[in-house]
């Protein structure tokens, strides 16, 4: 671990704002920019100055404050090349597979299309953090607005390949609803039941259910387990093609 610090807070109604501060390199990154007020307030609380915005995808609840924060701080906006025209204020277009250096941090860009056609996730190994926005949620995954099941499943497998100890940060606090669905399709999973109890307790206290170690998600999130024989059996699709299992899970979740 480096000297990276992370702060997570609520924006809008159920979006997360996340700031990543690298003292050594003298930079502060905002993961997406859902809302100006709470981001500015968090920066002021910490005494940090915003230098970069890492945009994951073009949806308004992730880029709404791009222009305002750029005007206020002169922050550089980094975002996916595939959504270049749709991201307000974009300065630097990046592609999956690229590693960019910001301050003393290496930021790995991972292509994760499916929710939107050009969505990317950001992995910062020195901070032990993955910023997966609306691709991967705790116990869930994003809706397929601009991609099919095969595309999203490939994206999730790319994220699943990261180390277990990586802390997963997401775009939204959707975990409680996702948890009800997960238990419904995978009722015998004891690790999932443990996580659900924890989620309930956190929500009662008004606390966030994220971040969560990716290793825990690999064992509890049905959308990361479409190729797992135990999940397939629980869901009544033993031995079927993972893409079909994933598609059926996503379809069922849409109507949940
Ligand atoms: Zn979105
Ligand atoms: Fe969103």
The pLDDT tens digits of the residues spanning 81-92 come to 999 999 999 999
CA gap 227, 238 in Å, rounded: 9
Range of the domain at 216: 175-254
The pLDDT tens digits of the residues spanning 115-155 come to 999 999 999 999 999 999 999 999 999 999 999 999 999 99
How many whole angstroms from 61 Cα to the centroid of ligand 1?
A: 7
**Is there a single domain that holds both residue 45 and residue 163?**
yes
- Does residue 58 carry a catalytic annotation? no
How many whole angstroms from 171 Cα to the centroid of ligand 2?
A: 6
CA gap 252, 246 in Å, rounded: 10
CATH number of domain containing 60 = 3.60.15.10
**Is there a single domain that holds both residue 190 and residue 120?**
no
**Is there a single domain that holds both residue 48 and residue 155?**
yes
pTM for the structure as a whole: 0.97
- Does residue 186 carry a catalytic annotation? no
Dmax (CA) of the chain: 55
CA gap 152, 135 in Å, rounded: 8
Q: Please, are residues 187 and 30 in contact by the beta-carbon 8 Å criterion?
A: no
The runs of H, that is alpha helices, within 161-189 are: 175-185
- Does residue 184 carry a catalytic annotation? no
């Amino acid at each position: 671990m480096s000297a990276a610090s992370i702060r997570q807070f609520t924006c809008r109604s159920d979006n997360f704002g996340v700031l990543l501060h690298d003292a050594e390199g003298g930079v502060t990154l905002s993961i997406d920019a859902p809302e100006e007020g709470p981001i500015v307030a968090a920066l002021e609380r910490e005494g940090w100055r915003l230098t970069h915005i890492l945009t994951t995808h073009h949806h308004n609840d992730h880029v709404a404050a791009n222009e305002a924060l750029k005007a206020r701080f002169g922050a550089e906006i980094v975002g996916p090349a595939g959504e270049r025209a749709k991201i307000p204020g974009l300065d630097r277009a990046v592609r999956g597979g690229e590693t960019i250096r910001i301050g003393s941090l290496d930021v790995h860009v991972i292509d994760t299309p499916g929710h939107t056609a050009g969505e990317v996730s950001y992995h910062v190994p020195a901070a032990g953090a993955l910023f997966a926005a609306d691709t991967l949620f705790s116990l869930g995954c994003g809706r397929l607005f601009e991609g099919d099941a095969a595309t999203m499943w490939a994206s999730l497998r790319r994220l699943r390949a990261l180390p277990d100890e990586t802390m997963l940060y997401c775009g939204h606090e959707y975990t409680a609803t996702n948890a009800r669905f997960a238990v419904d399709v995978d009722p015998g999973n004891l690790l999932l039941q443990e996580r659900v109890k924890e989620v309930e307790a956190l929500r009662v206290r008004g606390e966030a259910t994220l971040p969560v170690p990716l290793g825990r998600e690999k064992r509890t999130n049905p959308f990361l387990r479409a190729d797992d024989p135990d999940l397939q059996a629980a869901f009544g699709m033993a031995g079927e093609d993972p893409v079909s299992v994933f598609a059926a899970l996503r379809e069922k979740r849409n109507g949940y």
